[in-house]
Amino acid sequence: MQRSKVKIYGFCFILVACVPIFGWTRQQAGDPFEKTNAMIPMRDGIRLNTNIFVPRIQIEKLPIILERTPYQAAENSRSFAEGKFKELAAEGYIFVFQDIRGRYKSEGQFVMQRAPISLPGGAQDPKAVDEVTDAYDTIQWLIRNVPNNNGRVGITGISYPGWTAAMATLNPHPALRAASPQASPADMYLGDDFHHNGAFRLSYGFEYASRMETNRESYRFEFDTFDTFEWYLRLGALSNVNERYLHGTIPTWNDFVEHPDYDEFWQKQAMAGYLKQVQVPMLTVAGWWDQEDFYGPLKIYSTLEKLDAGRRNFFVSGPWNHGGWSRPDGSSLGNIKFDSNTSLYYREQIEAPWFAYWLKDKGQLKFTEAITFRTGTNAWQQYDQWPPVNISSAKRLYMRAGGKLSFDPPDETGDAFDSYISDPANPVPYRARPVEPTYSPLGSGWRTWLVEDQRFAHQRPDVVSWKTDPLSQDLTIAGDVTARLFASTTGSDSDWIVKLIDVYAENYPKEPRMGGYQLMVANDVFRGRFRKSFEKPEPIRPGEILAYQIDLHQIDHCFRKGHAIMVQVQSTWFPLIDRNPQRYVPNIFKARDEDYITATQRIFRSKSHPSHLEIFVIGR
């Protein structure tokens, strides 16, 4: 299916002739930057709106820091020089911000995550365009036209701008000397914004797509209930979305409907297949509690690490939500405190010196392969490799009888299991209600839901849990966390959600109000139909015990002495994840209301079917 074209910012010939390609903008007195606006031409003739900020006091030629964004290019220096780039601005750079094609003041057609076609083996048309060519053409123009640059460019960005930064490295301009994709998606089907392991991220997918592809900038879908949990439940089957609300006008939603499986459409967008070598020094940044794109940075780093003969591939992860390292205060997230300003540390001690090394030949490259913030003990760690399998050992945490979680495997024979009834009409909320809209002007719990106390779900009849005794000593898990479930369902399809939780001691003198807090440190969902293949789903045979391997991604977390480790399993996570009908239908986006049924779920914990988590423990 061809994507429909969302926006066309056209200009008649007379207007084009009258609009300068390069113009100065008056700045406020005392502004340390001189702003220039340029409409930079791409190889196909489309022009992209670009704001260039040159320091007024410049004693040497400076490198360029470039950000390409669909979220509106910075219009004044205060928005970056006093915020996310404050430390870089103090170091001294020329800053450039560009609207990608079809967004805000740029011409052309916006296509959500435009797949690269200009690479070897792609389109042969010399005017074929994508984010790779747009970045290349932009850098070439900047190097030739911006006065007093030193011929070097660094590109960076968070989220979608992080993705455009990564795209720029696939066929980099020779002047591109450093890239830092931050919170970049890498695969919108397997683990980032729109799907996790094939399960559709309903609330985010619906609200983001309608926001980006409605013909009004800064659009927000207007819900008629404050608690969107109620709105999405009342919506019913996914087939009602176009019938009642979108009416086929949102291209990305139409793509969801037409591509329910991991077909060529999604595979062409996935980044891993294009990462063939480390062509530009890379600093990939992630947040442990990124509510949108945690999978992407891990995938980008791990894919390139296999190809990094020259040690130019670096990884940083800290205690942040989506883009949290760019915010002024990183000393806490929600109710969780980190004892220091982790965001400032990252920007001062990691990001600024890293770019200065590659773009200014300043300092020495003293960075280890990976720098992560260990939550629990709240301390920065440096590793020669990530995950640190060279200093850790694999362990298993088994689900046991009586709600116990143990390093000792079960010895029960036969069909030992725990069970619950999953009812799509009464799904488990993914966070405590009310669930405000993602982009609510009144504020939304979306940004911090991953650190929310999980006691709102604990002991629901459709959530099962297992917990260790209080720990007699600290236990540090660093690296991959994988759930291996043996499960059955009376339905013919099912979702399995697994959460790894740090249960605080009931008596918690440091913060008495945090006594018993259930902090989720790893989690994900798996849609059962994809147990054999994401490309070719299959129904589940009711009652059959099947093995599921669920990637819960990576952590660097210390469970402190006196805390307990908990695992929760459930089958709904609403409206973060759409409700699985639990009756197999070929395309859930076309399911009808009558397709949704209750199902009895069983998690087995016997000697022959030992459900467990595989973790990597340091120092034990």
Query: Residue 2 pLDDT > 60, yes or no?
Result: no
Cα-based distances in Å from 398 to 94, 393, 405: 54, 16, 6
CB atoms within 10 A of CB 345: 18
Across 401-471, the runs of DSSP E, i.e. the strands, are: 405-406, 417-422, 463-467
Q: How confident is the model at residue 616 (pLDDT cuts 50, 70, 90)?
A: very high
Cα-based distances in Å from 146 to 62, 69, 477: 10, 20, 48
Q: Which domains does the chain have, with CATH numbers?
A: 1-182 (3.40.50.1820), 195-267 (1.10.3020.10), 392-618 (2.60.120.260)
Beta strands 62-69 and 149-158: pairing type? parallel
Residue 372 β-bridge partners: 317, 381
Tell me: cis bond preceding 387? Omega within 30 of 0 counts. Answer: yes
pLDDT tens by residue, 317-329: 999 999 999 999 9
Helices (H) and strands (E) in the chain, counts: 13, 26
Strand order in the sheet with 495-503: 463-467, 564-570, 495-503, 518-527
Three-class DSSP category at 537 = coil
Q: How confident is the model at residue 513 (pLDDT cuts 50, 70, 90)?
A: very high
Query: Residue 26 pLDDT > 80, yes or no?
Result: no
Encoded tokens for 528: 């059962």
State the average pLDDT over residues 155-161: 98
Output 280 or 19, whichever has higher pLDDT: 280
pLDDT of residue 24: 47
Query: Residue 7 pLDDT > 50, yes or no?
Result: no
Three-class DSSP category at 241 = helix
Question: How many whole angstroms separate alpha carbon 542 and alpha carbon 491?
Answer: 5
Sequence-ordered list of residues with C-beta below 8 angstroms from that of 14, at least 6 positions apart, any chain: none
pLDDT > 90: what percent of the chain? Answer: 89
Helix axes 160-168, 131-145, angle to 10 degrees: 80
Question: Which of 414, 539, 516 lies closest to 470, judged by CA?
Answer: 516
**Rounded (5°) CA angle 142-31-71:** 55
Label residues 51-71 b or e (16+ Cβ within 10 Å = b): bbbbbeeeeeebbbbbbbbbb
Q: How confident is the model at residue 30 (pLDDT cuts 50, 70, 90)?
A: confident
Query: Residue 416 pLDDT > 90, yes or no?
Result: yes
Residue type, 146: V
Question: How many whole angstroms separate alpha carbon 606 and alpha carbon 499?
Answer: 20
Question: How many whole angstroms separate alpha carbon 338 and alpha carbon 374?
Answer: 10
Any idea which residue has 């259930």 for tokens?
Answer: 518
Output 355 or 31, whichever has higher pLDDT: 355
Q: How confident is the model at residue 480 (pLDDT cuts 50, 70, 90)?
A: very high
Residue 66 β-bridge partners: 96, 155
Query: Residue 162 pLDDT > 60, yes or no?
Result: yes
Question: How many whole angstroms separate alpha carbon 554 and alpha carbon 242?
Answer: 37
Sequence-ordered list of residues with C-beta below 8 angstroms from that of 106, at least 6 positions apart, any chain: 9, 46, 47, 48, 49, 98, 99, 100
Question: Which of 352, 300, 301, 302 lies closest to 326, judged by CA?
Answer: 352
Question: How many whole angstroms separate alpha carbon 367 and alpha carbon 384?
Answer: 9
State the average pLDDT over residues 537-561: 98
Residue 396 β-bridge partners: 614
Query: Residue 15 pLDDT > 50, yes or no?
Result: no
pLDDT of residue 390: 96
pLDDT of residue 120: 72
Strand order in the sheet with 370-374: 22-25, 33-41, 47-55, 94-99, 62-69, 149-158, 176-182, 282-287, 313-318, 370-374, 379-383
Beta strands 282-287 and 313-318: pairing type? parallel
pLDDT tens by residue, 213-255: 987 666 889 999 999 999 999 999 999 999 999 999 999 999 9
Beta strands 199-200 and 475-489: pairing type? unpaired
Tell me: cis bond preceding 434? Omega within 30 of 0 counts. Answer: yes
**Rounded (5°) CA angle 311-186-576:** 135
Cβ(266)–Cβ(258) below 8 Å: no
Any idea which residue has 């459930």 for tokens?
Answer: 570
Beta strands 94-99 and 47-55: pairing type? antiparallel
Cβ(430)–Cβ(524) below 8 Å: no
pLDDT of residue 1: 39
State the average pLDDT over residues 67-89: 95
Cβ(182)–Cβ(157) below 8 Å: yes
Query: Residue 17 pLDDT > 60, yes or no?
Result: no
Q: How confident is the model at residue 123 (pLDDT cuts 50, 70, 90)?
A: low
Cβ(38)–Cβ(23) below 8 Å: yes
* Strand (E) or helix (H) holding 200: strand 199-200
Sequence-ordered list of residues with C-beta below 8 angstroms from that of 116, at least 6 positions apart, any chain: 122, 130, 131, 132, 167, 170, 274
